[in-house]
Every structure is written in structure tokens, then in C-alpha cells.
Amino acid sequence: MAISRGILVGRFQPFHLGHLSAVRDASREVDELVIVIGSSQKSHEFRNPFTAGERIEMIRETLIMEQEIDEHRIMLIPVPDTDIHQLWTYQIDLLVPRYDRVFTNDPFTTYLFTERGVSVVQPRLHRRRDLSATKVRHWMVMDRDWQSLVSRRTAEFIGTISGVRRVKSLFQQHDLNSQIYKHQHKS
């Protein structure tokens, strides 16, 4: 009997409780789940502050602590972006084991895989208003309770790598660059 395998695609910048819920739901539907760490070549940017290795570590450590998920049925594979969107799904095919469905809520990812005839499943969105990586990063910058949006293990891991300091520094650089751009393009 063939095993069922799905992929869950995300950037996980950082891995938050909504991502954890999607992993939990997707892992119940397949024998094996491949978590694709998208934009793996990007790091040290406000939108992408963490390296692929750091994201793998925070996800893996969270899954090991999670009671409802068998981390032995989950693979974590980094996949870089390509400059040609249509080729990106084929690049995934080269880097991950064969799969029969894709778990994503991203409309563009859904479009790309659906166009190829690949089955796409939209995981249930868990507290979507509250849970987004963008919100986690902004709460880090504003010294709000970002830890309540991620697992205890992810919060601990971010602490060990001085992740909040990095996010704040990257935000300041991003904000300064935005101000310079606006000033240069005033008419």
C-alpha cells in the first residue's frame, strides 16, 4: 500500500501557533508531511529575519515538544525562491520526496499548484486575525507579548539567538530605508 504524503509550504518567519495548528491538521490527513521552508535563501531582512537553519530548528524543537504530532512522520526541507514563479513548483519537485497534495492558504501557491493539476488543501485557519508572522515581528518591535503567539519552545529558541534584537535592528533599517525612499521620491 502506497503511503500518502503532503507538503505544507511556508516561510515561517517565525513559526507561530497558526503554523503549528496547520501542521497538526495536515499531519492527520497524510502518512508523512514535508514542511517546505520557503524563501530559504533569505534571512536578516525585516520580512525574513531568520535563516533557514534557524527556522528548521525552531520548527523541529516545537514539534518534538508537541504531544499530538509524531515528529518522525515529518520532514523539514528548505527550498529557495526562483526568479520564474512557474518553475518554483517544479523546483520543489526536485528537492522533496514525491507528494500527492499540497497544504497552503496562500492564493498564489494555490494557483501555481492547481494549474499543474496538483491537489491543494487549504488548512483551517487558526485565529488568523491574531496569528501571523508579520504580527509576531511587529509585536517584537513594539515590546508587546509576542511570546503568546508562538510556542514556548519557539520563544525560547528566539531568545537563544537574540532574535528579538535582530528583528528590532532589521525593522529600524527597514524603516530608515523607507523614509529615505519617500524623501528621494517626493515631487
Cell of 116: 499543474
pLDDT digits (tens, 9 = 90+) for 43-77: 999 999 999 999 999 999 999 998 888 999 999 99
Mean pLDDT, range 7-28, rounded to an integer = 95
- Is the pLDDT at 80 greater than 70? The verdict is yes
Candidates 73, 69, 52; CA nearest to 10 is 52
Domains of the chain: 5-184 (3.40.50.620)
